[in-house]
Structures are given as structure tokens and as C-alpha cells.
């Protein structure tokens, strides 16, 4: 093996390790939006290549209004789906679209129409 | 002041959960009525919905939901259909804008691609000047036509996300940057004995083909929501309100319950209501799938969005806006389309890791070609890695299930079959047993007099007289068989008798004095109690019972006067439905509260072999459970009103109704018309949809499983076979489009087919 081959091989292995770290491990650090007590729970979610926050902690049993602000025209995120609540809605670009539902205790997923961009809703008692 | 009246009331329908009895719905209703700002409230136990008219200045739908919750029941905020319609329009607008944009970008890319090919063919693409010309041509393709791949990939990357754009951006980016470097610093490469080789043409064609794929995909995706669009489009813009004898055209939004509306031939019925005047035939096919127009008379229900055919009529509006059958259908279909089929979980798991895994494979491909590939190793390595990135297609996987669920539930709605989501769709395909709750599914649910027999020497010598006497007593009874006798007497003009001293011994029949004569109508037990000998008509009674009819004896002044046979007629399509279910490999079972003899005879006439008779309503659920314990996957077909627990217990609950009477929200599947063939349609549609989903998933998997290794060059050592990046781009474009196109085949699903 030439030195060039050795360098490319090591660099390749390092790149593979980095790709897997960056997308699978580093990406897991959640941004948590806690919602205040009393009244309706409103959470604004920025939609641009992903959801921010991607992990939302809410109180179970009371209505949640998620306000999706989609600031891009990428059709990948044009729809948001909350399968557990039977919601599939279009998000017009550069506008805020609200969806409302009342979660029971549990963890729910929301995702784009094709399931590539994802977020999680954690509903807890007395949270 | 009509203005304040119309603007001060808003109406909404709030789904309420957890109500089990009339006391529950009564409590919710009273609480709502006492709420400030509420002008009227109606809580329906069957549909589990509260329809509330309120003053938006005083209260709001959100607050009403809270009010209902305070009573201890669950309530969800109603989905505002105006907004969902507006969103659909916005989606349309965005999509056509996107398509226009894609078309322009595609045109530029193709133009540049053709020029680049021409340069190559004329063999002037290898010189120094040609490389600069190609760079200049490629710049607008990368910088404008393909720009969104890079910006979107970057946006996702910042959130630790990766999608299709990431793969295209990295693939074309690597090829373009390498080519640009070679072009600008060719002397440096030449000095090291490397022939300057550029890939502008490949970059341009990749971008062109991916844009073409996106364009076709956008067009196909628009068609998947066509059914909802058609349903929303059924609503007319205005209604012709009749007020004090004057007609006035009002916008649909201003229409209120209680108003009278005139509908002329060829016009669309604007809302749900009851006909007060006029007769006509109404085409309800757009909602129920019923191809034959339904005759309508005063007192009949009409459904908004159906088409009036030949007569003019006036009807009183009962439901408007979100409470109408059409709005409820739209809402259910939208919810179904937002739901997820369990089969999608695997696809979801794969999509979640797909892009980073492909990136890793591409890097590995580069390394392997560089280390062991033929010279120039780094060029082969670069091209192979780029090909891997381009051929990989996560879109096909993501589109495989949702597009099929959307098209199937939409097509179902057009046929009057509402499948409430991906899960019922998936479970319907696994069914092996269909249980029919006899009354109202196999039979009409409206008993009618089938025959009358007279006894000799009783003083009653005409059938019409016998019916008249019996009807006089039965009028006070609430039994469904009694209604049949009263209706028949009315039809034959035998009415007008008064009754005194009415008695109704439980499980026996009815007694009373009619015109001074003591009349008894009931079963054998009643005759025995009265000491009347049924002997003279015993053989006739047996013959009636053998046909599945229920014989009712009539005695006048302690003497047998005659027999009236009543039966719930079998629906004309029941036998065909049972036969077709059998051909689909499904067992049918009939469940009924009737006596075994009547039940057997009905079952025989339609071809059902297994009968569960004398099952009281509260035990239906147990019978379903028993069948499930036999290892069967059971669908229960019922009217959705009296058998809700059994529908819920079954693997798939199928509620069958007619027009406005149907409990649309009950059951996992709702048949909009009372035709048992709808069960066949539902199961065949589910099977077709699941077949399409399996094909889609198989194709999406196999495409990537074969495509990626071939692109990486696994066939090269043995066969010298490799793909070019442009070939990879074409394959990818075809792959995602073919999945959506396959799903769109379900739009042509026909209920008449045999598979």
C-alpha cells in the first residue's frame, strides 16, 4: 500500500465515523420547549430543513397548539403529519400554520409528508 | 336586523368522546346550553358530536371544548374546514408555482446538456478553451437551476438532518468542484502527468434528470389528493332561500338551519335537510356511490352536495357548515389520509438512517476504488462515489405507503366506502370472517306484511278488515312488527278504528277493545293464555315460519280470526354479496336476535351457512370475541347504532347506513349506503391498496439494494460493468415517479371487478 492509499483509507474511515457521529449522535441532542401551566399550550416550531424545537414536552390531557412557521420552499417539508392525531396538513411557505390536538400521556411523532424530517412530542402528566 | 343575526352566530360541531348513555349526552347538552354565548346545543350520542351555535363575540370553539371537558368527557377542537380548504388551495398554488419553476430550470439544464453533448461529439470538448466554455455553461445550471439542492441540503445539515438534497448536493458538488479545479489549474495537473478530465456534462445531466423526476413527482403527488379536492368542489357557492314567498340567493356561508331553500332541477342541494314540498329524484352517487337517483318526497332527507335531477322541491335546512354529511366525510377522509399504516414503520426506520448510511457507502466506495481500482484510481474512485450518491433514492421509500393510503381512501370515499385510515386498510386485507348483524344489513331493517290468512267462521271475512282491527290495537305498540301491520293497513285504506283498554303482555302481543270487540294480536303463547285454539291455521303458520316469516295470530272475541305474516325482506344484493365474499375466500356468519327458525331461513336464502341466533344485543360482543378466539380475523357489519360495542371489538367494524342516517363516525369503515356489496368493495379496495403498498415497498427496497452496489462497482471485477452518474440520475428519477404512479393506479379501482 502506497502512502497515498494509506492516507485516503484513513481519511475515509475518519469521514465515515464523522458522518455517523454527526447525523446519528450529535443530532440527537434535543431542544426541549417546555410549556407553561394553565391555558392552552402554544409552541412555535420553526420549519427549515428540520424542526426547531424537534422535541417538545407538553402536559398530557390539555390541548396543544403547534404553530409551524415554515420559512422555506423546499417541498420536502411542505406537509406535516401527526399520525396519532389524524393530522396531515399543508404548510404554506413563509407562513405560520397551527394544528391543534389533545395528547394523552405518551410519546408521539410528527414528521414531514415523507417521514424524512422528524420531531417528537412528549406528553406527561403534571409536567 | 338580519345583519346582526347572521354575523352574531357561528356554528361548530365538536366531537365528544366517552359518552356511553343518553344521560351522558344530556348532561353535556345541558352544560353547553347553560354556557354564556351559546344559543343552541345539540349533543348526539350516536355520532358522538356536539353541534353548538354560539356568539363568537362571547365565547369560542376552544372555550366550548374546555366546557365539555369540565363535564368529564373528552372533546377535540373541531378542524376548521374553511381553513383546510384554504390550505388545499394554497398547496395547489405552491405546487403549480414549484412546477413552473422546475420547468424553467429543467429547460435550461437540458439546453446546456445538449450543447455539452454536441461539443463532446464534435470532439472539441477536450481542449483548453472547450473546458472553460463548459465551465461557463455549467455555472448557471449549478448556481441557478440546481441551487436549491445545495441550499436545502445545507439547511438540513445545520439541523443534523440529511435528505435527498444532501445526496444530490454532495454528488454533483464533488464532481463539479473537481472539474472546476482541473479546468482552472490544468497546468498543475499536466505537470504531474494527469490528463485533465472534466465531468461538467455529467453534472448538468444529473441536475436535469433529477429536476425532471421532481417535476413528474410533483404532478403525480397533486393527483393523490384529487378525491378530497373533488369532494370540496361539490359544495355549491349559493343557496336559493325562500322567505315570505320570495326567493333570495344567499352565499352558502349565510345559510342557517331552519331556513327553507328551493332546489330546481339540475341544481345541487346546498345543505342537509328535510323536504317540505315537492318531489324529485336526487343523484347521491357522489357521496354514497349509489348509481340510481333516489326518489324523494316530502318528509325525506336530502343531503347537501347531491344533485337534484328532474323535479323542483323546497326543503328545510337542518345542518350547515361543518355539521353536514359532506363536511364530515371530508374530515374523515382527511384524517384517514393523515394516519399511518403499521406497515410503514419499517419504511420509516429505513428512511431515518438512509442518507447517512449511503454517505458512508459512498466514502467506502471511493476508498476501495482508490486502493485497488485500475488507474487512474482517483478518477474511478470519484466517479463511483458520485454514482452511489446519485442512484440512492430515499424518496421512493418515503412515498411508498402514504401515496397508496391517500389514493385508496380517496377512491373509497368516491365509492361511498369510508376507510378511516391506514390501519383499518391494512387490517381489512387480513380478514377471514365477516359477521353480519342481520337486521339492516342482510335485510332491509323495515319489516313488512308478507301474507294474510283468514280463519273460517270468525265474522271477519276480508283481509283488509283483519288488518284494520289488528292495526287499531298495534298502533299503540312500539314493536317493529307492529309498525309493519299499521303501515300495511294504511296502505290498504283500513284505518279509523279507535281502541280502548289497551294491554301489552310482555313477549306475547297486544290486546284491546276495537268498536266494542275484544281483539288480540300476538304469538302462540298469547292464544294459549286466552284459551283460543290455533288449530285451524297451524299448518299455514308453520309454512310461513318455514319461509322465515313471523306469523302473528289475530283473535276476535275469543275466536281465531286470522294470521298476519310479517318479515323483514332480504336486500336484493345480499345473496350476491355473500357469494362474492365467499369467492374472495371469506367465511360469512349471520348474527341475530331472531329465533333460529327465521334466522336459518334468511341465512339459507342468501347463502350463509353459519348462524348465531337469539343473541341479545348485549351479547353480540361476546360472540365476536368467541369467533376471534377461534383464531379468526373478524369484521363485524352492523348499523353502527345498536351494535357499536361489537363493531369496536371486531378487528374491523363496518358501519352500514343510508344517507344521513348513517353514523358516519362509527366503525373503522363506513358504508354510505345500505348495500351489502359495499363490504365486498371495501375488502377488495383494501386488498388492492395493500398489494400496491407491497409492490411499492418491494420496488423501493430492491431498487436501492441492487442499485447502490451496482453503482459502487460490484459488477466491475467480474463483468467490467459500471454505471455512469447520468445513468444513475435517470434511474433515480424513474424510481420515485414509478412508486407514485403505481399508487395512482388505485384511482381506477372499480367495485365491479372480481379480484
Is the model's pLDDT at B755 over the cut of 50? no
Q: Determine, for residues A50 and B352 on separate chains, whether the beta-carbon distance falls below 8 Å.
A: no
Q: Do the beta carbons of residue B438 and residue B590 sit within 8 Å?
A: yes
Smallest Cβ–Cβ distance between A49 and the set B90, B156, B164 belongs to B156
B466-470 contacts, C-beta under 8 A, 24 or more apart: B466/B554, B466/B561, B466/B562, B466/B564, B467/B492, B467/B494, B467/B564, B468/B494, B468/B495, B468/B496, B468/B497, B469/B497, B469/B514, B469/B517, B469/B519, B469/B554, B469/B556, B469/B561, B470/B519, B470/B521, B470/B552, B470/B554, B470/B564
- The torsion defined by the Cα of B155, B158, B159 and B160, in degrees rounded to 10, comes to 120
Query: Residues 448..477 of B with a Cβ closer than 8 Å to A: which?
Result: none
Q: How many helices (H) and strands (E) does chain B have?
A: 27, 26
Q: Which segments of B475-517 does DSSP mark as H helices, in order?
A: 480-491
CB-count burial class (<10 Å; 0-12, 13-18, 19+) for B750:
exposed
d(CA B256, CA B253): 8
Pairing of strands B509-514, B517-522: antiparallel
Pairing of strands B272-277, B260-263: unpaired
Q: Which segments of B565-714 does DSSP mark as H helices, in order?
A: 574-583, 596-606, 620-629, 644-649, 677-712
Establish how many alpha carbons lie within 13 A of residue B44's alpha carbon, considering only the half-sphere containing its beta carbon: 17
pLDDT band for position B48 (cuts 50, 70, 90):
low
Smallest Cβ–Cβ distance between B161 and the set A49, A100, A101 belongs to A49
Task: Tell me whether B152 touches chain A (CB under 8 Å).
Answer: yes
Is the model's pLDDT at A27 over the cut of 70? no
Beta bridge partners of residue B11, listed in sequence order: B53
DSSP B332: H
Report chain B residues whose CB lies below 8 A from the CB of A118.
352
Secondary structure element (H or E) that encloses residue B550, with its range: strand B550-556
Q: What's the mean pLDDT in B23-50?
A: 77
List, in order, residues 6 or more apart from B205 with CB less than 8 Å away.
B109, B113, B725, B726, B729
Q: Do the beta carbons of residue A45 and residue A56 sit within 8 Å?
A: yes
d(CA B164, CA B390): 9
pLDDT tens sequence across A32-52: 666 655 556 778 888 888 888
Smallest Cβ–Cβ distance between A48 and the set B155, B364, B367 belongs to B155
Q: Cβ atoms within 10 A of the Cβ of B615, count? A: 20
pLDDT band for position B298 (cuts 50, 70, 90):
very high
Q: Give A36 to chain B, closest Cα distance, Å.
A: 17
pLDDT band for position B577 (cuts 50, 70, 90):
very high
Q: What is the pLDDT of residue B78?
A: 59
Smallest Cβ–Cβ distance between B77 and the set A75, A76, A100 belongs to A100
Q: What is the pLDDT of residue A34?
A: 60
Q: Determine, for residues A117 and B62 on separate chains, whether the beta-carbon distance falls below 8 Å.
A: no
Q: Which residue has the higher pLDDT, B547 or B176?
A: B176
Nearest CA in chain B to A117: B161
Q: Give A83 to chain B, closest Cα distance, Å.
A: 4
Q: Determine, for residues B366 and A8 on separate chains, whether the beta-carbon distance falls below 8 Å.
A: yes
Q: Which of B77, B78, B68 is nearest to B19 (CA)?
A: B68
Question: Can you tell me whether residue B690 is helix, strand or coil?
Answer: helix
Q: Which of B553, B545, B580, B573 is nearest to B452 (CA)?
A: B553
Q: Which residue has the higher pLDDT, B70 or B565?
A: B565
Is the model's pLDDT at B620 over the cut of 50? yes
Query: Residues 30..69 of A with a Cβ closer than 8 Å to B: which?
Result: 40, 48-52, 54, 63
Q: What's the mean pLDDT in B600-629?
A: 89
Q: Do the beta carbons of residue B633 and residue B658 sit within 8 Å?
A: no
Q: What's the mean pLDDT in B667-691?
A: 92
Pairing of strands B610-612, B587-591: parallel
Q: Which residue has the higher pLDDT, B447 or B661?
A: B447
Q: Do the beta carbons of residue B586 and residue B431 sit within 8 Å?
A: yes
Question: Can you tell me whether residue B202 is helix, strand or coil?
Answer: helix
Is the model's pLDDT at B81 over the cut of 70? no
Q: Which residue has the higher pLDDT, A4 or B82?
A: A4
pLDDT band for position B5 (cuts 50, 70, 90):
very low
Q: Give A37 to chain B, closest Cα distance, Å.
A: 15
Nearest CA in chain B to A65: B77
Q: Do the beta carbons of residue B624 and residue B435 sit within 8 Å?
A: yes
Is the model's pLDDT at A127 over the cut of 50? no
Q: Which residue has the higher pLDDT, B575 or B558?
A: B575
Beta bridge partners of residue A46, listed in sequence order: A52, A69
Is the model's pLDDT at B125 over the cut of 60? no
Catalytic residue among B163, B272, B283, B437: B437
Q: Which segments of B61-163 does DSSP mark as H helices, in order?
A: 61-70, 81-121, 128-140, 147-158
Q: Determine, for residues A23 and B371 on separate chains, whether the beta-carbon distance falls below 8 Å.
A: no
Q: Do the beta carbons of residue B418 and residue B670 sit within 8 Å?
A: yes
ipTM for the predicted complex comes to 0.76
- Cα separations (Å) of B725 from B168, B199, B205, B357, B388? 11, 10, 9, 19, 8
Angle, in degrees to the nearest 10, between helices B677-712 and B725-744: 180
Q: Which of B289, B297, B333, B331 is nearest to B315 (CA)?
A: B297
Report chain A residues whose CB lies below 8 A from the CB of B63.
none
DSSP assignment string, B40-81? EEEEETTTTEEEEEE-TTT--HHHHHHHHHHTT-EE-PPP-H
Q: Which of B635, B620, B622, B693 is nearest to B668 (CA)?
A: B635
Q: What is the pLDDT of residue B2?
A: 36
d(CA B527, CA B662): 39
Q: Which residue has the higher pLDDT, A32 or B751?
A: B751
Q: Cβ atoms within 10 A of the Cβ of B253, count? A: 12
Secondary structure element (H or E) that encloses residue B425, with its range: helix B422-428
Is the model's pLDDT at B79 over the cut of 70? no
Best of A2, A54, A74, A117 to substitute, by most chain B Cβ atoms within 10 angstroms, is: A74
pTM attached to this predicted model: 0.78
List, in order, residues 6 or more apart from B101 with CB less than 8 Å away.
none
Question: Can you tell me whether residue B500 is helix, strand or coil?
Answer: strand
Q: Determine, for residues A117 and B65 on separate chains, whether the beta-carbon distance falls below 8 Å.
A: no
Q: Do the beta carbons of residue B273 and residue B301 sit within 8 Å?
A: yes
Q: Which residue has the higher pLDDT, B44 or B40?
A: B40
Q: What is the pLDDT of residue B150?
A: 93
Q: Determine, for residues A115 and B88 on separate chains, whether the beta-carbon distance falls below 8 Å.
A: no
Q: Cβ atoms within 10 A of the Cβ of A38, count? A: 7
Task: Tell me whether B18 touches chain A (CB under 8 Å).
Answer: no
Q: Do the beta carbons of residue B175 and residue B203 sit within 8 Å?
A: yes
B499-503, strands of its sheet edge to edge? B448-454, B559-567, B550-556, B517-522, B509-514, B499-503
Smallest Cβ–Cβ distance between A19 and the set B148, B348, B356 belongs to B356
Beta bridge partners of residue A98, listed in sequence order: A67
Report chain B residues whose CB lies below 8 A from the CB of A81.
338, 340, 402
Q: Give A44 to chain B, closest Cα distance, Å.
A: 17
SS3 content of chain A, % helix, strand, coil (to 5): 25, 40, 35
List, in order, residues 6 or more apart from B326 with CB less than 8 Å away.
B231, B234, B235, B287, B303, B304, B305
Q: Do the beta carbons of residue A115 and residue B353 sit within 8 Å?
A: no
B275-303 in b/e burial notation, b at 16+ Cβ within 10 A? beebebbbbbbbbbbbeebbebeeebbbb
- What is chain B's mean pLDDT, rounded? 85
Amino acid at each position: 500500500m502506497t502512502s497515498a492509499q494509506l492516507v485516503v483509507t484513513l481519511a475515509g474511515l475518519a469521514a465515515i465515523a464523522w458522518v455517523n457521529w454527526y447525523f446519528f449522535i450529535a443530532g440527537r441532542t434535543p431542544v426541549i420547549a417546555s410549556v407553561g401551566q394553565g391555558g392552552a399550550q402554544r409552541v412555535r416550531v420553526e420549519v427549515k430543513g428540520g424542526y426547531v424545537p424537534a422535541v417538545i414536552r407538553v402536559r398530557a390531557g390539555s390541548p396543544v397548539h403547534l404553530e409551524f412557521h415554515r420559512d422555506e420552499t423546499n417541498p420536502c417539508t411542505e406537509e406535516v403529519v401527526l399520525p396519532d392525531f389524524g393530522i396531515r396538513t399543508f404548510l404554506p411557505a413563509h407562513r405560520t400554520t397551527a394544528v391543534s390536538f389533545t395528547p394523552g400521556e405518551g410519546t408521539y411523532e410528527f414528521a414531514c409528508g415523507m417521514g424524512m424530517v422528524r420531531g417528537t412530542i412528549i406528553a406527561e402528566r403534571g409536567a | 336586523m338580519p345583519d346582526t343575526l347572521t354575523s352574531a352566530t357561528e356554528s361548530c360541531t365538536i366531537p365528544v368522546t366517552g359518552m356511553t348513555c343518553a344521560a351522558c349526552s344530556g348532561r353535556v347538552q345541558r352544560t353547553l346550553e347553560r354556557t354564556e354565548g351559546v344559543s343552541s346545543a345539540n349533543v348526539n350520542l350516536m355520532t358522538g358530536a356536539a353541534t353548538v351555535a354560539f356568539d363568537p363575540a362571547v365565547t369560542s370553539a376552544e372555550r366550548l371544548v374546555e366546557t365539555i371537558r369540565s363535564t368529564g368527557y373528552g372533546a377535540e377542537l373541531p378542524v376548521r374546514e374553511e381553513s383546510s380548504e384554504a390550505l388545499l388551495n394554497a398547496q395547489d398554488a405552491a405546487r403549480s408555482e414549484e412546477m413552473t419553476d422546475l420547468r424553467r430550470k429543467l429547460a435550461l439544464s437540458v439546453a446546456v446538456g445538449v450543447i455539452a453533448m454536441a461539443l463532446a461529439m464534435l470532439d472539441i470538448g477536450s481542449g483548453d478553451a472547450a473546458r472553460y466554455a463548459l465551465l461557463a455553461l455549467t455555472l448557471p445550471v449549478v448556481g441557478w437551476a440546481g441551487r436549491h439542492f445545495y441550499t436545502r441540503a445545507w439547511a438540513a445539515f445545520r439541523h443534523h438532518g440529511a435528505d435527498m438534497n444532501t445526496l444530490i448536493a454532495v454528488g454533483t458538488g464533488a464532481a463539479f468542484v473537481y472539474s472546476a479545479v482541473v479546468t482552472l489549474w490544468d497546468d498543475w495537473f499536466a505537470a504531474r502527468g494527469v490528463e485533465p478530465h472534466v465531468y461538467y456534462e455529467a453534472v448538468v445531466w444529473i441536475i436535469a434528470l433529477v429536476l425532471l423526476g421532481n417535476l413528474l413527482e410533483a404532478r403525480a403527488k397533486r393527483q393523490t389528493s384529487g378525491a378530497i379536492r373533488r369532494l370540496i368542489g361539490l359544495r355549491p357557492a349559493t343557496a336559493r332561500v325562500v322567505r315570505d314567498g320570495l326567493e333570495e340567493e344567499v352565499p352558502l356561508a349565510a345559510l342557517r338551519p331552519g331556513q327553507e331553500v328551493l332546489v330546481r332541477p339540475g341544481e345541487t342541494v346546498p345543505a342537509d335537510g328535510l323536504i317540505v314540498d315537492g318531489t324529485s329524484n336526487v343523484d347521491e352517487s357522489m357521496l354514497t356511490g349509489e348509481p340510481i337517483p333516489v326518489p324523494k318526497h316530502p318528509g325525506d332527507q336530502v343531503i347537501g352536495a347531491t344533485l337534484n335531477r328532474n323535479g323542483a322541491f323546497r326543503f328545510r335546512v337542518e345542518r350547515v357548515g361543518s355539521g353536514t354529511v359532506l363536511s364530515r366525510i371530508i374530515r374523515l377522509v382527511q384524517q384517514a389520509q393523515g394516519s399511518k399504516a403499521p406497515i410503514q414503520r419499517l419504511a420509516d426506520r429505513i428512511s431515518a438512517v438512509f442518507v447517512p448510511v449511503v454517505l458512508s457507502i459512498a466514502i467506502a466506495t471511493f476508498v476501495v476504488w482508490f486502493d485497488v481500482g485500475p488507474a487512474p484510481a482517483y478518477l474511478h474512485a470519484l466517479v463511483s462515489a458520485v454514482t452511489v450518491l446519485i442512484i440512492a433514492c430515499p424518496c421512493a421509500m418515503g412515498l411508498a405507503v402514504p401515496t397508496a393510503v391517500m389514493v385508496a381512501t380517496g377512491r373509497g370515499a368516491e365509492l361511498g366506502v369510508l376507510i378511516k385510515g391506514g390501519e383499518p386498510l391494512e387490517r381489512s386485507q387480513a380478514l377471514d370472517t365477516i359477521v353480519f348483524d342481520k337486521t339492516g344489513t342482510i335485510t332491509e331493517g323495515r319489516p313488512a306484511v308478507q301474507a294474510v290468512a283468514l280463519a273460517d267462521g270468525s265474522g271477519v271475512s276480508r283481509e283488509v278488515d283483519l288488518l284494520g282491527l289488528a292495526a287499531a290495537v298495534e298502533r299503540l305498540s312500539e314493536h317493529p312488527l307492529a309498525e309493519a301491520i299499521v303501515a300495511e293497513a294504511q296502505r290498504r285504506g283500513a284505518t279509523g278504528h279507535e281502541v280502548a283498554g289497551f294491554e301489552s303482555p310482555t313477549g306475547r302481543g297486544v290486546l284491546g277493545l276495537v268498536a266494542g270487540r275484544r281483539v288480540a294480536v300476538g304469538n302462540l303463547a298469547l292464544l294459549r293464555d286466552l284459551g283460543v285454539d290455533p288449530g285451524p291455521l297451524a299448518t299455514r303458520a308453520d309454512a310461513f315460519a318455514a319461509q322465515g316469516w313471523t306469523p302473528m295470530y289475530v283473535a276476535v272475541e275469543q275466536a281465531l280470526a286470522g294470521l298476519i305474516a310479517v318479515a323483514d325482506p332480504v336486500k336484493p344484493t345480499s345473496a350476491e354479496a355473500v357469494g362474492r365474499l365467499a369467492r374472495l375466500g371469506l367465511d360469512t356468519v349471520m348474527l341475530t336476535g331472531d329465533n333460529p327458525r327465521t334466522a336459518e331461513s334468511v341465512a339459507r336464502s342468501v347463502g350463509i351457512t353459519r348462524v348465531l341466533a337469539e343473541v341479545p344485543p348485549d351479547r353480540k360482543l361476546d360472540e365476536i370475541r368467541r369467533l376471534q378466539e377461534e383464531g379468526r380475523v373478524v369484521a363485524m357489519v352492523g348499523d353502527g347504532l345498536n351494535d357499536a360495542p361489537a363493531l369496536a371489538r371486531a378487528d374491523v367494524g363496518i358501519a352500514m347506513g343510508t344517507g344521513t342516517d348513517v353514523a358516519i363516525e362509527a366503525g373503522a369503515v363506513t358504508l354510505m349506503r345500505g348495500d351489502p356489496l359495499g363490504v365486498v368493495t371495501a375488502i377488495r379496495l383494501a386488498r388492492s391498496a395493500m398489494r400496491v403498498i407491497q409492490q411499492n415497498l418491494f420496488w423501493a427496497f430492491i431498487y436501492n439494494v441492487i442499485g447502490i452496489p451496482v453503482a459502487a462497482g460490484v459488477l466491475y471485477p467480474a463483468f467490467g460493468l459500471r454505471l455512469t452518474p447520468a445513468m444513475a440520475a435517470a434511474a433515480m428519477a424513474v424510481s420515485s415517479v414509478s412508486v407514485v404512479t403505481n399508487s395512482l393506479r388505485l384511482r381506477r379501482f372499480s367495485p365491479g371487478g372480481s379480484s
